[in-house]
Amino acid sequence: MFRMLSPFEGNLFDEFRRLERDLGQVYGTGPWPNSIRSAARGAFPPINVGSTPDQVDVYLFAAGIDPKSLDVSIQQNLLTVAGERKVCAKEGAEYYRKERFDGAFHRALTLPEDVDPDQVDAHYKDGVLHIMIQRREAVKPRQIEIKQ
């Protein structure tokens, strides 16, 4: 006649995952992003990477950084970008939430094998660093003419 209701109607492991997710959202901890559009914790600056048959484009969203202070290099198909973001803060101020990254950063990105490290161009505009790495001519597709 009476049915006992359990607080764990589903799988017990599902409840542990839910608890872990909820605690991660409250405390901002955990190795995973809080949403599908979030970057992993500690990943600054956020990066977008795209490619065409001619080049690889890397976009770093690094607002508030002096472009002269950035160190961009390529070695053995590894693109590295390092720098520091300094955020002015009032001394002795107590923060209840601090989401803007400050301090030194270092990002490394493995590039495809067919890029040419001698053909790199970089531009910084409106807080976005755009790095363009050309592909080697020898590996670009080429049209072969059929003779009759």
pLDDT digits over 102-148, tens only?
888 899 999 999 999 999 999 999 999 999 999 988 766 778 889 88
Confidence band (pLDDT; 50, 70, 90) for 91?
confident
The overall average pLDDT reported for the chain is 80
In the chain, what are the domain boundaries? Answer: 7-38, 42-93+100-139
Confidence band (pLDDT; 50, 70, 90) for 74?
very high
Q: By percentage, how much of the chain surpasses pLDDT 70? A: 79
Hey, what CATH topology would domain 42-93+100-139 get?
Immunoglobulin-like (2.60.40)
Chain segment 32-57, per-residue pLDDT in tens: 555 544 455 557 889 999 999 899 99
- Higher confidence at residue 128 or residue 95? 128
| CA-angle at 32, arms to 109 and 72, nearest 5° | 20
Give the CA count within 13 Å in the CB-facing half-sphere of 45: 22
Q: By percentage, how much of the chain surpasses pLDDT 90? A: 36
List, as own/partner pairs, every contact residues 102-108 make where C-beta atoms lie below 8 angstroms and the sequence separation is at least 24, other chains included.
Answer: 105/44, 105/45, 106/80, 106/81, 106/82, 107/43, 107/44, 107/45, 107/47, 107/60, 107/80, 107/81, 107/82, 108/78, 108/79, 108/80
